[in-house]
Amino acid sequence: MASITIDNALGATVNQPYVTVKLCPPNAPTGAACSTVDHMLLDTGSIGVRVFASALGSSQASRLPQQTGASNDTGGNSPLAQCALFGSGYLWGALRRADVTIGGMTARDIPVQIVGDDAYESTPADCVSRGVADLGTVDALGAKGVVGIGHRARDFPQAAQTALAATYYYCASATSCTAARVPLEQQTMNPVAAFATDNNGTIIRLPALPPDGQASAAGELIFGVGTRSNNALPANPTVLAVSDQGTLTTMYASRSVPAIVDSGTNGLMFRDTSIPTGVNNWFAPQNTLSLSATMMSTVGLQATVPFSIADAERLFESHYAAYDSLGALSLSSNMFVWGLPFYYGRSVYTVLSGTQAGDRTGPFVAF
């Protein structure tokens, strides 16, 4: 188990769930130089550990061996780098290997992304054009890195078959990086899938909040689902099958759209132009709205989920870090994102694709 903290110690961040991660050279002897990095964003909407070189320190980053092995690299020895795309921007950096420890559990010798590695300062043009905004600073991301614990073990299975734009690259030099076809074993990895035990998924458990939010909040990240007494599914859980990418369907205002349950998104993001908005498209209704939407799994099961949307501008006046009624107008009409407000007051289970949790097979979300 690991502690989750939601605070604004890094600045004016809201609804950012953080964990602390220790990174060491692979299979390093006891007492070897390691780096412990706090305020890593816990993200069920992505896969893999991505840490800023500035948080590791340049000397520590250089101790982590480079990841090589692109299938279309004729020499076979060029280091790999990655453009990781998120809804709000991109992270660029080299791939290296490390032992990653979270809450006493260790994923040994896995590929991780080092964001802002001095070795590759020039970001490929297709990464910039598709990613739009550079998230490669603590101020921009609101975190010192990302711990992606979504529904897959590996980051981008399609990239093992095809050299995709704005994904993986092999870099023959500091300024020459080519789109790469990368076997799964060399791709950034969900650290939970690499644990020796309790590796079929996670539980994020956060407290309920008062209507106007809270200065900070603390919760738990529990490893494994149905593997021991502290991570069993409840007696009558809502279990919704999702795709390998974590998608299901949500019906809101008589429209069905793809959806994702994503701890790394700080609000409920959906399309409803009838709700007034303020700065940065945050919803700002005059009075708090009581709404609901129906989550539908890939196998037909469904659950209606109530939620509230308050005036974000009024909430932000408190300078708190945790709010459960925060939402924003999605710029896409084809996506509903159940962000961190969905997690407050719940235990949310994320089970990996192809794994077993009791008599159920992942991938699924449960609460």
The 10 Å CB-count burial string (b at 16+, else e) for 2-27 is: bebbbbbebeebbbbbbbbbbbbbee
pLDDT of residue 119: 80
CB 19 within 8 A of CB 221: yes
Report if residue 270 sits inside a domain: yes
From 220, 91, 204, select the one nearest 146 (Cα to Cα): 91
Tell me: do 188 and 91 sit in the same domain: yes
From 150, 244, 246, 247, select the one nearest 192 (Cα to Cα): 150
From 28, 23, 85, select the one nearest 52 (Cα to Cα): 23
Tell me: do 246 and 166 sit in the same domain: no
Secondary structure of 165-201 in HEC code, one letter for each residue: CCCEEEEEECCEEEECCCCHHHCCECHHHHCCCCCCE
**pLDDT > 80? residue 245:** yes
Report if residue 153 sits inside a domain: yes
Tell me: do 267 and 157 sit in the same domain: no
Beta bridge partners of 316: none
Q: Which residue has the higher pLDDT, 117 or 237?
A: 237
Q: What is the mean pLDDT of residues 260-272?
A: 97
CB 15 within 8 A of CB 267: yes
CB count in 10 Å sphere of residue 359? 6
Tell me: do 185 and 241 sit in the same domain: no
Tell me: do 14 and 162 sit in the same domain: yes
Q: What is the DSSP letter of 29?
A: P
**pLDDT > 70? residue 144:** yes
The CA-atom distances, in angstroms, between 185 and each of 23, 91, 108, 189, 251 are 19, 21, 13, 8, 37
Tell me: do 189 and 68 sit in the same domain: yes
**pLDDT > 90? residue 76:** no
**pLDDT > 90? residue 60:** no
Q: What are the DSSP E strand ranges found in 9-71? A: 17-24, 35-43, 47-52
Tell me: do 160 and 25 sit in the same domain: yes
**pLDDT > 70? residue 31:** no
Beta bridge partners of 261: 338
Torsion of CA 124, 127, 130, 133, to 10 degrees: -100
Beta bridge partners of 312: none
Report if residue 108 sits inside a domain: yes
Report if residue 207 sits inside a domain: no
Report if residue 217 sits inside a domain: no
Give the CATH number, domain containing residue 17.
2.40.70
The CA-atom distances, in angstroms, between 269 and each of 12, 151, 338, 339 are 19, 20, 7, 7
Q: Which of 194, 216, 234 is the last residue of a domain?
A: 194
Percentage of residues of the chain with pLDDT beyond 70: 99
Tell me: do 168 and 231 sit in the same domain: no
Tell me: do 156 and 245 sit in the same domain: no
Report if residue 360 sits inside a domain: yes
Domain that holds residue 246: 226-366
| Each residue's pLDDT tens digit, 200-244 | 999 999 999 999 999 999 999 999 999 999 999 999 999 999 999
| Each residue's pLDDT tens digit, 149-166 | 999 999 999 999 999 999
pLDDT of residue 331: 79
**pLDDT > 80? residue 312:** yes
